[in-house]
Amino acid sequence: MQKMKLVMVGNGMAGMRTIEELLKIAPGLYDITVFGAELHPNYNRILLSPVLAGEQTVQDIVLNSMDWYAENGIHLHLGKKIDKIDRKNRVVEAEDGSRAEYDRLLLATGSNPFMLPVPGADLPGVISFRDIADVEAMISASAQYKHAVVIGGGLLGLEAANGLKQRGMEVSVVHIAPWLMERQLDEPAARLLQKSLEDKGLKFLLQKQTAELVRGESGRVCAVNFKDGESIPADLVVMAVGIRPNTELAESAGIHCHRGIVVNDTMQTFDPRVYAVGECVNHRGVAYGLVAPLFEQAKVAANHLAEYGISRYQGSVTSTKLKVTGIDLFSAGDFTGDEGTESLVFSDPGSGDYKKVVIKDNKLVGACLYGDTINGAWYFDLLREGTDISQFRKTILFGQHHLGDSGHGPADHVAALPDTAEICGCNGVCKGDIVKAIVDKKLFTLDDVRAHTKASSSCGSCTGLVEALLAHTVGDYSVAPSKKPLCKCTEHSHDEVIAAIKDKGLKSMRAVFDFLEWKTPDGCASCRPALNYYLLARWPGEYQDDKHSRFINERAHGNIQKDGSFSVVPRMWGGLTNPKELRAIADVAEKYRVPEVKVTGGQRIDLFGVKKEDLPLMWKDLSAAGFVSGHAYGKALRTVKTCVGSQWCRFGTQDSTGLGVKLEQLTWGSWMPHKYKLAVSGCPRNCAEATIKDFGVVCVDSGYELHVGGNGGIKVRVTDLLCKVETEEQVMEYCGAFAQLYREEAHYLERTAPWVERVGLNYIKQRILEDEKGRVELNERFKHGQRFAQIDPWKERAEGVDATEFQTIRISA
Amino acid sequence: MSDWIEVAKMEELPRLSARVVQFDTVKIAVFRTSQDAVLAVKDRCPHRGGPLSQGIVHGNLVTCPMHNWRIDLATGEAVQPDQGCVRTYETKVEDGRVYLRLSSAAANANSCVEHA
Ligand SMILES: Cc1cc2nc3c(=O)[nH]c(=O)nc-3n(C[C@H](O)[C@H](O)[C@H](O)COP(=O)(O)OP(=O)(O)OC[C@H]3O[C@@H](n4cnc5c(N)ncnc54)[C@H](O)[C@@H]3O)c2cc1C
Ligand code: HEM
Ligand code: SF4
């Protein structure tokens, strides 16, 4: 059968990204032809600034080499500008007369720089800053001439000015507004920026209007005259006053355009065979000029060209960074604010730091940073996700370092780290490896870096550092999807999956795969454990736990160690033990020649180095002595740490040990989205460290303080105080209700600390404190689930359940 | 003598799981996919030697429990962008019995050169 023909006009970043996405999901569906007006294969336009500044070369910034097009069977026509589309006969025609037929047409013609309509704008020596040819013209001018004038003090103009200065020219920047980058920065930040650029030797003429460009004797531009009568010398004038979507071709073909080629949410134009992406597009009234949204558009267009027909582009929030070495600024959203908003500002002119965040209804709506921008990515996340920030409003300006394991917030400036610095502790990946992969393999997104280096693909706590490295290496480039799919097997987010399982009554993994149209037959190692958990948590007693969808630790009920052996941690209720138990542990340790015995931080005993085959035998002995599994290996209730409390301690106010034992008896065996720890301290001296636990109780004279969302680990997060209650019964009820809320609503592998931050403490208070009936029901559901969960997995396996898991088949020669 | 060795009955090898077959000091992981294909590879991830038999099986792939490398069980090749391969072994299923071919000549069913 003949393949369908796809023609793309405009060999630039958005168009080629679409082709790449398309080849990924539907290789071989189309016979592809690409026309580009420039003489170069697709290159990274963003990096023209460093090329101009002499920090990179044109070769460095090529994204798709000529070989790449050939390998992918793409017919590439360089230097050919399409000037006609015959929509009736479905043919495009280039200026030189070459033609190509299409079944689908993709327009990605980018935008044109706007040239001020002043006399002399067409003189030699007056150029824009858009493509390689412009950069080459600027570089050659810098070698011959002295005076450069850049008109426009926005992102592009400042990057051009910086580059020309680096090339040795005297540069003046002319700007019409009262301060630089007025669309991205407020006045104080812009003044700091201006000062540091002045320190680099740039001159600024603000609130100046250009009247005319003057022709010199040689015919080339020689000066710029302003409306106020002033004049400055100029051998080179760079216009960077804005861009206009390039719709000339589309308009000539009668395709509806209005400040861009108008498309719907599938990136389709008014002619259903014609799609458009990139800066040439007007989507819901917005034309974007940064790559992150364009890449999202590319993904959607590819999905529809591939005839999958399931994704929609719904617009993007964008953020800005300036790529001038040594200058850090970040801006996103509404950074000026209005009547309904409040602004928090930190300003330290001495160190050149300025931070401002704009808040509306307890949510971040804008941010503007100068100097220390390390928290930009975090603010941007808060903004996009609409996170409730009321709990950390007081410290928000100081960044995320005080917060928990939520996976963002680089602790230090990554640029300053040596190449050997380890970034991802989980996978042992160093800064040098990551930067090399980003450069060599031309990686753009966090996902790419994860796939190629494995950095940040595990615990995720280094995600912020990796994002910072990415931004540092290639500019702020990460695509910003409004929702994150659970994994690559699906388009659906965690929340959508959780809701579907509940609302549609999906009770098996197969039902989830079918109903939500999973893309892979058996899922993958990311989604299967998540789905198994969601199903188990939602349908206790009905859903049959699927051990093949569990990680090895949970499947074997022990922690796999680096030599392949396992560790065994029997449960010690509330950290209490007695001579009989200790003797039994000593006996098994000797009998199975356990090489190491250690007391854990969770107040129990860990037996290391057990062979997998010995596990069921050892469990049998432990079970006979009355022990059950400590679930030290699971996304489950781990331990309840206690202090000695009123029984022995002179400060004790309540029986913290006894309460700890009761809480552990209530909660043990429960599967959770992630590990879950409890503690009970007998007085505010808090010897059991209850304020860094998922659920901590601090006893006081008049009752019990309940604390939630704490975390030890890499990033310590102190709990939030949920409430104070008066009786042990209440502690038990609130404990069950909070655990159940977390079990039902958190994402798999999300600890309570980031979950509490994401949904906000107010929400949790509302569900647990204000909604009394809801609390009782949550607790009931928790207790119902426990009826099925509190079956000791060790005992079952000691009695022969799942025997094949633990047996090696031996054969001899 | 035929060099096929019976290692297990099909019912002793649940879907989406693996059994470890130890032959002298060599450990071989024998997998059964959701489609009932039986595939065998050396039980050593090409990355850092993790036990592939303990990973999660999906499609024809297993994800190593140590660092999440994905290995194609049919070819022994790591899935891009990871690079490396693991030795594969021939298998067959007859009358509900799983056989493995171990003789040194035929053992290396793919062309993977092992790293120590
Ligand atoms: C100097 C500079 C710095 C930038 N820095 C950043 C940054 O830091 N971050 C960021 O996100 N964005 C930045 N941008 C913006 C970013 O580069 C653009 O948003 C992006 O390149 C637009 O992609 P596109 O595919 O829509 O257009 P382009 O990449 O411009 O591609 C369009 C292509 O189509 C060709 N074409 C047009 N008409 C025709 C025709 N009729 N026939 C054939 N070919 C045609 C053009 O020649 C061009 O090659 C920067 C831009 C510049 C110029
Ligand atoms: C594969 C990796 C890990 C293994 C095998 C592991 C195993 C354990 C075990 C067996 C215990 C004793 C707990 C108990 O008695 O139940 C423990 C305690 C602890 N672990 Fe880990 N752990 C791992 C990763 C982590 C990580 C990543 C963190 C930090 C984010 C962490 C933080 C802690 C803390 C704070 C304790 C003490 C708990 C307490 O005092 O109650 N662990 N770990
Ligand atoms: S927390 Fe208070 S009651 Fe408990 S051991 Fe410490 S001082 Fe004593």
Closest ligand by atom to A657 CA: 3
Nearest to B68 among A457, A555, A812 (CB): A457
Cα A634 versus chain centre, distance: 26
pLDDT digits (tens, 9 = 90+) for B22-77: 988 889 999 999 999 999 999 999 888 889 999 999 999 999 988 889 999 999 99
Chain B hits for A525, CB-CB cut-off 8 Å, are 55-56, 58, 63, 68, 70
Q: Which residues line ligand 1 (CB under 6 A)?
A: A 9-15, 35-38, 45-46, 48-49, 81-82, 108-110, 129-130, 156, 159, 246, 249, 278-279, 289-292, 294, 323, 475
pLDDT tens profile A382-407: 888 788 888 788 888 877 654 433 33
The CATH class of the A126-241 domain is alpha beta
What average pLDDT score do residues A689-697 get? 96
- Using CB atoms, which residue from A452, A520, A809 is nearest to B20? A809
DSSP A32-58: EEEEESSSS-SB-GGGHHHHHTTSS-T
pLDDT classification of A569: cutoffs 50, 70, 90: very high
Residue of chain A whose alpha carbon sits nearest to that of B70: A525
Which CB contacts under 8 angstroms, 24+ apart, belong to A491-495? A491/A310, A491/A311, A492/A516, A494/A530, A494/A747, A494/A748, A495/A747
Q: What is the pLDDT of residues A149-198, one digit of tens each?
A: 999 999 899 999 999 999 999 999 999 999 999 988 889 889 989 998 99
pLDDT score recorded for residue B105: 47
- Averaging pLDDT over each range in A331-340, A391-400, A467-476, A711-720, which range is the top one? A711-720
* A653 CA → ligand 3 middle, Å: 8
pLDDT in tens, A73-108: 999 999 999 999 999 999 999 999 999 999 999 999
Report the range of poorest mean pLDDT among A450-454, A578-582, B95-99.
Answer: A450-454
Q: Which chain B residues are closer than 8 Å to A800 by Cβ?
A: none
CB contact under 8 A, B67 and A458: yes
- Whole-number pLDDT of residue A479: 42
Which ligand has its closest atom nearest to the C-alpha of A324?
Answer: 1
pLDDT at A317 exceeding the cut of 90: no
Query: Is the CB of B58 inside 8 Å of chain A's CB atoms?
Result: yes
Looking at per-residue pLDDT, the higher value among A477 and A732 belongs to: A732
CATH code of A4-111+245-305, in short, is 3.50.50.60
Class of domain A637-789: alpha beta
Q: Among A243-257, A398-412, A791-805, which range has the highest average pLDDT?
A: A243-257
- Average pLDDT of every residue of chain B: 86
Asked whether residue A419 carries a pLDDT value surpassing 80, the answer given is: no
ipTM value, please give it. Answer: 0.89
The secondary structure of A676-708 as a DSSP string is EEEEEESSTT-TT-GGGSSEEEEEETTEEEEEE
Strands B91-94 and A422-424: unpaired
Chain B hits for A809, CB-CB cut-off 8 Å, are 7-8, 19-22
Domains of chain B as residue ranges with CATH: 4-103 (2.102.10.10)
Inter-CA distances, A223 with A213, A590, A660, A664, B43, Å = 6, 92, 82, 81, 75
**In this predicted model, what pLDDT tens digit does every residue of A15-46 receive, in sequence order?**
999 999 999 889 999 999 999 999 999 998 98
* Assessment of whether the complete model's pTM goes beyond 0.80: no
CB pairs under 8 A between A and B: 85
Question: Residue A588: its pLDDT value, please?
Answer: 96
pLDDT confidence of residue A304: 94
Q: Is A211 a residue whose pLDDT tops 90?
A: yes
Q: Is the pLDDT score of B1 beyond 60?
A: no
Do A809 and B14 count as a contact with CB atoms less than 8 A apart? no
Lowest mean pLDDT among A53-62, A508-517, A662-671, A703-712: A53-62
Residues lining ligand 3, judged by CB closer than 6 Å?
Answer: A 643-645, 649, 651-652, 656, 681-683, 685-687
CATH no. for A553-629: 3.90.480.10
Per-residue DSSP letters for A178-193?
A: SSTTTTT--HHHHHHH
pLDDT at A436: 84
Query: Which is more confidently placed, A547 or A419?
Result: A547
Nearest residue on chain A to B31, judged by CA atoms?
Answer: A548
Strand partners, A348: A353
Confidence bin at A811 (pLDDT 50/70/90) = confident
Q: Was domain A328-402 assigned CATH 3.40.50.1000?
A: no
Mean pLDDT of all residues belonging to chain A: 89
Q: Which CATH architecture has domain A414-478?
A: Orthogonal Bundle (1.10)
Q: How confident is the model at residue A537 (pLDDT cuts 50, 70, 90)?
A: very high
Tens digit of pLDDT for each residue in A478-505? Answer: 444 446 789 889 989 999 999 999 999 9
Percent of chain A with pLDDT over 70: 94
- Identical fold at A4-111+245-305 and A126-241? yes
For residue A459, what pLDDT is reported?
57
CA distances (Å), origin A100, targets A33, A236, A262, A460: 8, 40, 24, 47
Confidence of residue B116 (pLDDT cuts 50, 70, 90): very low
Show me where the domains of chain A are located: 4-111+245-305, 126-241, 328-402, 414-478, 494-550, 553-629, 637-789
